[in-house]
Structure 1
Amino acid sequence: MSQTCIHERTSKEEIEKGLKLQPKFDANGLIPCITTEVHTNEVIMFAWMNEEALRHTIETNKATYFSRSRGKLWVKGESSGQIQWVKELRTDCDQDVILIKVDIGEKGAACHTGYKSCFYRKLDGVELIYDGGEPLFDPAEVYKK
C-alpha cells in the first residue's frame, strides 16, 4: 500500500464514521496494538507501534512493532523465525488502538518465552498458574542467549 494510507486526524465525525485510517498516537508517538491469531481469534500478544511500525506493517504484511526498551522497530520473527503474517488490520471507533489478526502457522509462537501466546498464565485465586500449553521452542536455542 502507498504511504497515503495513514492520514492526519480530522473531525470526530470523520474519525468515527469515515473510511480513512487516522490513528491517534500518544504523546510518545505510540499506539497500542493487540495481536490475535487469525484462525482462533486468541489474543497472542500486546505491543506498541509508532507511525513507522504501522506503515511497515501495512506495506509488508509482517507485524512490526516499536520496542520501547530497545528504542527501535521490531519486526516480529526477525530473530526467532516466528514471523507474524498480517491477514487483517482493524482500528477501534476513535482510532486509538490497532488490532491485527495474524497467521503464525501451525507451530508458531508469539512469545519470546516460546509459548504460542504471551498470555500463558492466569490468576487462580491468589496465584498465577500455567494455562498456555507447552512452549513451542527453546528460547535459549533460538536466541543464542
Structure 2
Amino acid sequence: MRGLLFLQKLKCSFKNEKKMINLAETKKFLPQFRPALNHDGTRAPNLITVVLQDNPNGAVLYAAAMDKPALALTLKTMRVHLYSRTAKSVRRKGETSGDELAVIDVLVNCNQDCLLIKVRKQGKNGGCCHTQVQPENPQSPHRPTCFYRIVSRIVGKKTEYFLSFL
C-alpha cells in the first residue's frame, strides 16, 4: 500500500534538466538511463538497471533493465514491465508464463541510475525465472529466482571456477 501512495504522489520527469542537480539529495525523480547493447551487440535504447526483490522475504529475484517506456508502464500499471535485450522490445513480466510481479515499492539509488523494485509474486506457479526447475520436463515450474547457481572454486596449481546448483 505504501508503494501505491508513493507512486500516486510521484510526478515522473524523464527529461534531464539543464542545470546541474545533486542527484543524491534532490527530491525529484530523474532516472539516469545509460547507453546499452542488446544481446546480439546491436544498440539498445538507453536503459536503467533494475533489481527485483521479493517483498515478503527480501530474496533477490533477478536483475534486468528498463527503458523509458517500460518504466512508465510499470509506474502506471503497478505491474513490472522490462526491456528484453533478446526480443528488443518491452515485455510485461508474466505475459507468457502467467507469473506476474505486482509492484509494492520503487526505490532509487543515490545516483538515480539503478532501481530496486519490491514486488509480490502473482501467478499460478510462483515462478520468476524463464528457466525451469527440470528443463527436460515441459510441465516443470519456472524457478523462483534467477540466482540458482553459486560460483565455486578449486584452488590448485591454477585456480578454476565452476558453477554449482543451489
| Same topology, TM > 0.5 | yes
1:141 aligns with none
Q: State the distance in 2 between where 1:115 and 1:124 align.
A: 21
Question: Per residue, is there more helix in 1 or in 2?
Answer: 1
What residue ranges of structure 2 are gaps of 5+ in the alignment? 1-7, 36-44, 132-141, 154-160
TM-score normalised by L of structure 1: 0.82
Would you say the 8 A contact 2:14–2:68 is kept in 1?
no
Corresponding residue of 2:13? 6
Query: Aligned residue for 1:110?
Result: 128
Q: How does 1:41-120 map to 2 (within 5 A)?
A: 41-105=58-122, 107-113=125-131, 114-120=142-148
The partner residue of 1:20 within 15, 21, 28 is 28
Higher strand share: 2
Contiguous gaps of at least 5 residues in structure 1: 132-145
Q: TM-score, normalised by structure 2?
A: 0.72
Q: Percent identity?
A: 28
Structure showing greater radius of gyration is 2
CA distance in 1, matches of 2:162, 2:15: 45
Measured in 1, the distance between the counterparts of 2:107 and 2:76 equals 15
| Matched position secondary structure for 1:84 | strand
1:122 equivalent among 145, 150, 154: 150
> Are the counterparts in 2 of residues 53 and 73 from structure 1 also a CA contact under 8 Å?
yes
Aligned to 1:137: none
